[in-house]
Amino acid sequence: MARIAGVNIPTAKRVPIALTYITGIGPSIAKQICDATKIDQARRVNELTDAEVLAIREFIDANVTVEGDLRREVTMNIKRLMDLGCYRGLRHRRNLPVRGQRTHTNARTRKGPAKAIAGKKK
C-alpha cells in the first residue's frame, strides 16, 4: 500500500492511472511525474520499490499543488473575486454561471434542482 500526498492510497493500477486519484493530478501531470522519476508507465503501484515511491512523493512535494492546498487555493481565488465586487464575483455570490452562459433555461449545475414558481400559470 502506497501513501502519496496525504491520504491517497491507489494500489493495483498502473502508476500514471493511480496517481490521478490524487486531487490536482490528471493524466498529463501523472505522466510528467513518471518521466521525471524514470518509472515505466506500464508498471503498477504495488510493484514499486520504497525508493521509487519516495521519489514520486518528493517530486510532488516540490512541483505540484495537490489536495488540501489546491482546494484552499481555489476557494481563496473565488473569495477574492467575491470581495472585489467585480462581475465574476457577483455571479459567484448568486450561484449563477460565471462565464456568460445563458440562464433563461439550463444552468442547472449552478442553480441546483428546479424550484416550482408559485402562481405561475400554465
Partner 1 sequence: MARSVWKGPFVDAYVLKKAEASRDSGRSEVIKIWSRRSTILPQFVGLTFGVYNGKKHVPVNVTEDMIGQKFGEYSPTRTYYGHAADKKAKRK
Give the residue among 16, 24, 26, 71 at the shortest CA–CA distance from 48. 16
The contact pattern for partner 1, residues 68-107, with x = CB under 8 A and - = no contact, is: ------------x---xxxxx-x-----------------
d(CA 14, CA 100) in angstroms, rounded, equals 39
For residue 86, the minimal CB distance to partner 1 (Å) is 4
Q: Does 7 bind partner 1 (CB under 8 A)?
A: no
Give the residue among 68, 80, 49, 52 at the shortest CA–CA distance from 8. 68
For residue 108, the minimal CB distance to partner 1 (Å) is 17
